[in-house]
Every structure is written in structure tokens, then in C-alpha cells.
């Protein structure tokens, strides 16, 4: 699943560039080398001692100031592209290097061209990971490939004819999306210096030639359905990946062919929950806390709820965010009890074992789900197609704590478009 995610992000980035080059001849690529320094936060007790974290990134992007497509004009000419880079987390022996590929989007902030906000979501490959014998203190990364996310604020402090010099401050995160435990992840805070290098031969062509359309404000309703195949693990004693199956739908509105807001529902089936119950594992055995789960294993292994969904369209690409409320997720209580108590809970749990308390943190995470990801639409949303199909990659969480990693396919139907 993680390798497929890496391929998906590179596929989206490549097609995004190809689409722009075909439809917008006047744009010029920019190259932005970036040096970052900061601190890798401790992920677990006994975490290896680290020195200064160092990153070297190369951002290849394109400003959309003169892009005639509606999304580019509605978003005030953002910059999109691909970040490729390497990170030394401050302990090569234990933490190794991280090699990252990440699509990104950059917006103006505070109404000023000097301030920019960048957000990116992609994948990273690690040269070192947890090993109970050779590398037991690094419990942050236990897989070769993880999700990678970063968000940064930049200030342009000096501008020359061909280079904009910028200082930045931000947050970076790496984790495997709950596809293998341990999964503490890397969290880092860094400062950066970057040089946004323009192509001097095409600098003059960035100025508008008057061909950018004046767009009317529009709105249309839509409905969408999707199916998803995710993967996660259950606990250290059940650390093999199993599937999470999702069916979801929503109804909502799209404004100006760029912003989407919808209300929906989702239904999920967790294979790990079902197998734990059907195999009569420790906590569902007779006279144990969850023995009643055996009365209806299928129902207790499912999850359903309602969602509020937001999305920003960049023609073929969609940046996807969802917040949901779970009405039914009974087996999460069992998962919490196993994973939030004493460390290294065994498969056969003794009666005396300290299990996780069902505190306020549990109650919030049991009810609130979140979903972040990226989509690629077969037909560009700039054209407001009546019927469309997309592929998506998402990280699903319980209020920010990773739940499962998912690939999905969806269908969207547009109703009559109208002016506002």
C-alpha cells in the first residue's frame, strides 16, 4: 500500500505539470533550493539523542499568476509543484536519512506578495527504521515508506531580478498511517532559507497579455459515491496489515468550479476487528469485558457516521479534507483498551494487565474522525463535467491519531449549473 501511495503522488505531480504545459504555454518553471535546520522531537521514552536536523529540498514549481483557468484566478495565482529532498534527522546511526517526494501548493498570505503559506502531502523513504535488536530506541519509524506532510510560512526578505530570497518557519511530520506498529512518527519544527529562482528568459512573459477571462460567480449541486480499500494494524501482538473496506456518499455544492462543500455518510468494515472477535481472542472470551461482541461480530467490526467534506479543485487535482462524527464504532473501545495501557500488551492478556482507561481522550477520538488526502480527476473540474471519476489517496485518523491508509475510486455527478 505504501509503495502504491508513492507512485500515486508522483503520478499526480507529473500529470499536473503535463496538464499545465499543454493548456498554459506562457508559464515558466521555477527552481527553489531550500536549506532547513531544526529539531527532531522525541518520539518515545529513551529516544536516541539527536543533533541538529538538516534538510536539503529542491522545489520545482510553477506560478499561476497568468494561468487563465478559473481555479488559478480564484486562488490569486498560487504556485504548485513537486518537492524532492533529503533529511538528516540528527542521528544517522539510529534515525538514518529520509528521502521525500511531495506535491505542494503555495498561496499568498496576509494579502501580501511577501508572505506565503506552503502545504504539501507526499511520501518518504527511510534508510533506518526500528529493529528490536539492532535499533530498539527508534520507535518513530517502523516501515521503509511513510506518509510525509509539511506546512510552512515564508517571508520574502530580498528580491532581485531573477531570485526571491525567503526565510521560513514550519512543521514537518512523517508516519506510516497506522500500517505497522510501532508508529510514533517524526515531528519536527524547522527554520529555512530558500531562493526562488525564476527563468530569466521567460520572466517578461509572466505579465498578463489581457487574455485572462472575467469569470462569473457560479454554483451547482452534486452527489458523489466512492469505494475505498484501506489497510491498518490492530496492536503490537496483531501487527500484520489487514483491510478496511469503505463505502461512502455525499451531497453538496461547488462554488466557482473551485471550492466544494458537502455533507455525507460513510460505512467501514475493519477486518482486524472481525477476525479478533471470530477467533475468540482474549478480550472477547467468556466473562471478559467484550464477550458480548460475539453476539454480532459483523456489526461490532463496523463503523458508520456522517461527514462534512471540503475540497479545493486545481482542475484535475483535488485537495481533500473531511471531518466526521462516528455514531457507531464499538470495537474501537477494545482497540483503545489494548493499545493505551501497559506497553507490549501480549496476545493472551492476563486478568491483572493494566488496560487503557476510557477517558476523555478516548471519547473524543471514538467520535471524531478526520480524513486528509489528494485526488486525481479523469476530467478536469475546470470544465464542470456532468459525470466524472477520480482516484484518491487518503490518511484517515481518529481526531489526528492515524487509523488507516486508503486508496479509493469515486464517481461524481453534477446537477444543473447556475450563476450566483
Q: Which three cell numbers stand for residue 12?
A: 499526480
What average pLDDT does the chain have?
90
Residue 16 confidence (pLDDT) above 70: no
* Residue found by looking up cell 503555495 in the block: 106
Question: Do the domains 2-203 and 218-419 sit in the same CATH topology, yes or no?
Answer: yes
| Residue range 277-303: mean pLDDT, rounded | 97
Could you give the 3-state DSSP secondary structure of residue 272?
helix
CATH topology of domain 218-419: Porin (2.40.160)
CATH number belonging to domain 2-203 = 2.40.160.20
| Residue range 137-142: mean pLDDT, rounded | 90
Note the pLDDT of residue 104: 94
Note the pLDDT of residue 68: 87
Residue 376 confidence (pLDDT) above 60: yes
Cβ neighbours, 10 Å, residue 330: 18
Residue 241 confidence (pLDDT) above 70: yes
Q: Give me the sign of the Cα torsion angle 72, 74, 77, 80.
A: negative
Q: Quickly list DSSP for 350-393.
A: -TT--PPP--HHHHHHHHEEEEEEEEEESS-GGG--SEEEEEEE
Note the pLDDT of residue 183: 85
Could you give the 3-state DSSP secondary structure of residue 72?
helix
C-alpha to C-alpha distance for 189 and 126, rounded to whole angstroms: 19
| Residue range 93-120: mean pLDDT, rounded | 94
Say whether the peptide bond before residue 89 is cis (omega within 30 degrees of 0): no
- Show the CA angle centred on residue 298, arms to residues 296 and 302, nearest 5°: 120
Note the pLDDT of residue 22: 46
C-alpha to C-alpha distance for 235 and 346, rounded to whole angstroms: 9
pTM of the model: 0.88
Note the pLDDT of residue 205: 45
> Which 8-state DSSP code applies to residue 345?
-
C-alpha to C-alpha distance for 98 and 247, rounded to whole angstroms: 34
Percent of the chain's residues with pLDDT above 90: 77
Note the pLDDT of residue 64: 87
Note the pLDDT of residue 305: 98
C-alpha to C-alpha distance for 120 and 80, rounded to whole angstroms: 10
C-alpha to C-alpha distance for 406 and 229, rounded to whole angstroms: 6
Note the pLDDT of residue 124: 95
Phi, psi (rounded to 5 degrees) for 353 = -65, 135
List pLDDT tens digits, range 200-240: 545 434 444 456 788 899 999 999 999 999 999 999 999 99
- For the chain, the structural domain boundaries read 2-203, 218-419
C-alpha to C-alpha distance for 376 and 16, rounded to whole angstroms: 9
Residue 111 confidence (pLDDT) above 90: no
Q: Give me the sign of the Cα torsion angle 346, 349, 355, 361.
A: positive
For residues 251 and 112, the model is more confident at 251
Q: Which three cell numbers stand for residue 98?
A: 529520509
C-alpha to C-alpha distance for 91 and 169, rounded to whole angstroms: 22
Amino acid at each position: 500500500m505504501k509503495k502504491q501511495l508513492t507512485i500515486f503522488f508522483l503520478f499526480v505531480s507529473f500529470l499536473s505539470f503535463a496538464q499545465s504545459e499543454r493548456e498554459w504555454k506562457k508559464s515558466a518553471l521555477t527552481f527553489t533550493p531550500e536549506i532547513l535546520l531544526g529539531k527532531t522531537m522525541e518520539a518515545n521514552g529513551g529516544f536516541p539523542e539527536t543533533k541538529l536536523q538538516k534538510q536539503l529540498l529542491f522545489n520545482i514549481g510553477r506560478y499561476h499568476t497568468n494561468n487563465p483557468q478559473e481555479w488559478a484566478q480564484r486562488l490569486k495565482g498560487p504556485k504548485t509543484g513537486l518537492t524532492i529532498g533529503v533529511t538528516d534527522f540528527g542521528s544517522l546511526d539510529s534515525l538514518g536519512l529520509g528521502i521525500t517526494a511531495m506535491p505542494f501548493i503555495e498561496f499568498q498570505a496576509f494579502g501580501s506578495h511577501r508572505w506565503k503559506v506552503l502545504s504539501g502531502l507526499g511520501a518518504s523513504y527511510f534508510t533506518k527504521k526500528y529493529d528490536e535488536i539492532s535499533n530498539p530506541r527508534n520507535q518513530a519509524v517502523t516501515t521503509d515508506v511513510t506518509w510525509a506532510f509539511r506546512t510552512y510560512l515564508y517571508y520574502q526578505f530580498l528580491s532581485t531580478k531573477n531570485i526571491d530570497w525567503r526565510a521560513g518557519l514550519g512543521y514537518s511530520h512523517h508516519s506510516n498511517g497506522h500500517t505497522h506498529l510501532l508508529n510514533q512518527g517524526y515531528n519536527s519544527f524547522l527554520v529555512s532559507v530558500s531562493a526562488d529562482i525564476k527563468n530569466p528568459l521567460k520572466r517578461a512573459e509572466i505579465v498578463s497579455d489581457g487574455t485572462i477571462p472575467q469569470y462569473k460567480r457560479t454554483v451547482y449541486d452534486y452527489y458523489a459515491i466512492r469505494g475505498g480499500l484501506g489497510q491498518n494494524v490492530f496492536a503490537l501482538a496483531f501487527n500484520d496489515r489487514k483491510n478496511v473496506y469503505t463505502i461512502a456518499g455525499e451531497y453538496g455544492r461547488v462554488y466557482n468550479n473551485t471550492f466544494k462543500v458537502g455533507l455525507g455518510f460513510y460505512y467501514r468494515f475493519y477486518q482486524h476487528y472481525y477476525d479478533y472477535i471470530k477467533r475468540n481472542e482474549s478480550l472477547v472470551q467468556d466473562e471478559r469485558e467484550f464477550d458480548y461482541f460475539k453476539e454480532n461480530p459483523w456489526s461490532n467490526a463496523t463503523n458508520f457516521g456522517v461527514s462534512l467534506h471540503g475540497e479545493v479543485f486545481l482542475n484535475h487535482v483535488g485537495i481533500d479534507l473531511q471531518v466526521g462524527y462516528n455514531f457507531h464504532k464499538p470495537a474501537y473501545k477494545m482497540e483503545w483498551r489494548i493499545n493505551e495501557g501497559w506497553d507490549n500488551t501480549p496476545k493472551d492478556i492476563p486478568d491483572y494487565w493494566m488496560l487503557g482507561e476510557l477517558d476523555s481522550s478516548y471519547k473524543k477520538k471514538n467520535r471524531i474522525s478526520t480524513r486528509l488526502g489528494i485526488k486525481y480527476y479523469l476530467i478536469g473540474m475546470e470544465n464542470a463535467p456532468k459525470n466524472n471519476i477520480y482516484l484518491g489517496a487518503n490518511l484517515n485518523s481518529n481526531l489526528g491519531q492515524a487509523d488507516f491508509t486508503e486508496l479509493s475510486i469515486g464517481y461524481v455527478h453534477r446537477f444543473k449549473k447556475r450563476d450566483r
